[in-house]
Amino acid sequence: MKNEIVELFNKIVSARHGIALTGAGVSTLSGIRDFRGKNGLYKDMDAEKIFDIDYFDQDPSFYYKAAGSFIYNLHEKQASVVHTTLGILENKGFLKALITQNIDLLHQKGGSRRVIEIHGSPAIHYCRYCGRPSEKVMDFDAVAALVNAGEVPRCAHCNRVLKPGITFFGESLPAKALADAESEARRADLMLVLGTSLTVYPAASIPQLTLRSGGEIVIVNDMETPLDRYASLRFTDLGEVFEGLAELLRAS
């Protein structure tokens, strides 16, 4: 095993307040394509159009048709060694929080409980118009069944198309999630930055809060990031790193 992975393990278990920030790259081992990576969705899909709030307002059915193949089949996807190892690290008290840009719900499948979803979540879908809270929410499984049958979810009261709780381009990030993420980043003496290119703001600025507060960051990503030179350790292969961490956890 590489000495650097052992060094990373020692950093994690000795951290006072260790946290993680994850991006789409952590889910590629589960068969979910990332956005900006070497084989990302941006290569052959207009992801910005799919997740554009103005376009959703014009034609919400476009989102459900385009996103059906990679959002509403998530129940078929399994947590990878990255997700499960992060869950174990939290369960053992080595990670205090996990901040994610992802909308695939795999961290919860992997056993993480303190998950801060700064780009929202498809776990719920809601009506933006009728203002009836008891009738405007539909959970992921119910929506997925409709979408996979070629339908779109509609409000039980006003019949308008429901919107997923995902933050679209043109919308503000969830205020509480962002505040919680920034608070955790300032408290952290160690942040694992995993599978993110650190190019989408304001999420990309979160590791800088840890650095400014005197903490250190470790980056694992298959492409360069703007913060590479500030990382105390830098890796490119998430699978190799987390297989190594999982082995060390089993032996400890």
Distance CA 42, CA 243 (A): 28
Q: Residue 131, exposed/middle/buried by CB under 10 A (0-12, 13-18, 19+)?
A: exposed
Which entry of 107, 119, 125, 157 is annotated as an active-site residue?
119
Complete edge-to-edge strand list for the sheet that includes strand 120-126: 137-139, 120-126, 163-166
For CA atoms 127, 133, 135, 137, give the dihedral sign: positive
The DSSP symbol for 126 reads: E
Q: Are the beta carbons of 62 and 55 closer than 8 angstroms?
A: yes
75 is catalytic: no
Active site residues: 119
